[in-house]
Structure 1
């Protein structure tokens, strides 16, 4: 059964297994999330549930949003995300989804927003090769070099990898292993690194293509 939860990245640490091996993990505060809306084939053409994470102050919510949360008898939530499920009948409005929907050993995908790094050149942004730093190259060793042919086509093709804004985009890391689940404190420890800074919002789902 497909499942998913919204969480907040706490940071990285390490865990020792039974043999004594060190496992680098990222700790995520996963939930509790509340089911805010159910979408059905009859009304919407597909099956899904919308869940909310992170409380908001009521005076920061406008009237349409307040009405949306009132239907589920839930407090206003800061983050809303929709998950397409095979069977939405297993959930009702107002149901609470906790970290224990995942178990140790599960393979998951984690989606988040990567750290924004501002304006970056082609070498840092795309991994382009630099020119020689000496022997007459001049002050252009880290420039991108040729943009394309001169007389034909006399323009730069769309999609050319050039300097620009780096980071601050949606990134998904696949096939990560759940090392530990602390249902009491709503914490999930996942092996390896995940996108985004500490405090960043992430989405955890079943792996779509297991390794």
Structure 2
């Protein structure tokens, strides 16, 4: 979960902008195996939920693994060996990451609503004076009688943000196991308290 951004100083005095992420503790809720599910993965739960807020089918899912209910469930691909090593109810903490490692972070970007082409696509727009009547419009969107249509995929105004975004190659600057915090160099998608998925680079 994204907590916000700050900056830290290295030993030589260089300022490093970092995002503070609360990474766990997560609990293994279920395991997927090739024999039963056709693939191998681990389902992790994060942020405990009050039992009366969970519907009966999901409550049965949690009781089967003998774990408390969670607000957020996410599956992560894993090798058969990794699935065997983990047991249901086991905690997965931030200590699986090491400083200097590269990770990829997936989140949902901030929703911007309906935006024009200048904000959404970075168009330059038209001039503001000297008789100009169209300042922030996209301009021409096609030709004339041929091809007599607008090509698909043309950059136009529309809904912006609130999409799944993955940032790759982010460096882990520091790991704070006692607070379950991860400091990652640079920015990550989403608002404060937005839910993130953190994976090691090169692994799904």
Pairing 1:17-166 to 2, within 5 Å after superposition? 17-87=10-80, 88-138=83-133, 140-166=134-160
Structure 2 unmatched runs, 5+: none
Aligned equivalents of 1:39, 1:77: Cα separation in 2: 18
Q: Deviations over 1:80-102 (max 9, x none)?
A: 11110123112111111001110
1:168 pairs with 159, 162, 165, which one?
Answer: 162
Q: Secondary structure at the match of 1:201?
A: coil
What is the Cα-based RMSD across aligned positions, in Å?
1.3
Q: Does 1:201 align with 2:202?
A: no
Q: If the length of structure 2 is used for normalisation, what is the TM-score?
A: 0.94
Tell me by how many angstroms 1:158 deviates.
2.1
Give SS of 2:196's match.
strand
Return the alpha-carbon distance in structure 2 between the equivalents of residues 57 and 154 of structure 1: 58
User: Across the two proteins, how many residue pairs are aligned to each other?
Assistant: 201
Classify the secondary structure of the residue corresponding to 2:129.
coil
Unaligned residue ranges in structure 1 (runs of 5+):
1-7
Higher mean C-alpha displacement, 194-203 vs 147-156: 147-156
Partner of 2:183: 189
Matched residues in 2 for 1:151 and 1:36: separation?
60
Task: Report how far residue 104 of structure 1 moved.
Answer: 0.9
